[in-house]
Amino acid sequence: MTTTIWVTAAVASIGLGAVVLARRAARSGARGAREAAVRWGLDPRDVERPMPVSRDRGRSWQVEPRACVRYSLPVTGGTGSRWALLQRPEEHHPPLPPGWRLASDDGGPSPRVEAALREIAESWEEEFLELEADGSRVHAFWEEAGGGPGARRVRERLRTVASAVEEHRG
């Protein structure tokens, strides 16, 4: 009986230790990502945003307000239009791959910007990313994981979109 209690306690403490280490690693990754974003001038901000959430391992999805981080990059001369590239796992809006939707109230992005967004949607393999233009800046919304390398991948996507906007205006 005493041996069983000790074994149970040891197993429980190992499990708790793993959870603590995982949480520390996540905080460390977010801190590394945040530090990199600040160095690159991406103006990271904690925000709340409607995001896709699954409570049943991806069988169904709801959109709910959740905390995430916004990185922003100014675009020389402005973005021209307002649009958002959204992850919506249960939707399919060709020519985007399944799980993505392009939303706009004012005609949407130029064909060049739309092509860049489609390429990002086709290649993105991380957990969560949404991109948005507000007239003067492009923004990336994500969960800030993966440390500096994760932040670098997001920065590359922001630069791709900003370059496409600036090339369109020529």
DSSP string, 91-102: ---TTSPTTEEE
Pairing state of beta strands 100-104 and 62-74? unpaired
Beta-carbon count within 10 A of 126 CB: 12
pLDDT in tens, 76-126: 887 788 999 999 988 899 899 999 999 998 888 999 999 999 999 999 988
Task: State the pTM of this model.
Answer: 0.79
CA-to-CA distance for 54 and 5, rounded, in angstroms?
A: 37
Supply the pLDDT for residue 16. 47
**The predicted structure's pLDDT at residue 21:** 33
Beta carbons within 8 Å of 170's beta carbon, 6+ residues apart: none
**Nearest one of 123, 117, 150 to 44, comparing CA atoms:** 150
Number of domains in the chain: 1
Percent of the chain exceeding pLDDT 70 equals 82
Give the lowest-confidence range in 18-32, 47-61, 78-92: 18-32
Answer for the pair 139, 132: CB distance below 8 angstroms, yes or no. Answer: yes
The mean pLDDT of the chain is: 84
Percent of the chain with pLDDT over 90: 56
- Ranges 2-11, 95-104, 128-137, 158-167: which has the least confidence: 2-11
Question: Is 28:10 a contact under the CB 8 Å cutoff?
Answer: no
Mean pLDDT computed over 30-37: 91
The boundaries of the domain holding residue 104 are 2-169
- Identify the band that residue 8 occupies on the pLDDT scale cut at 50, 70 and 90: low
Q: Looking up tokens 């809006």, which residue turns up?
A: 93
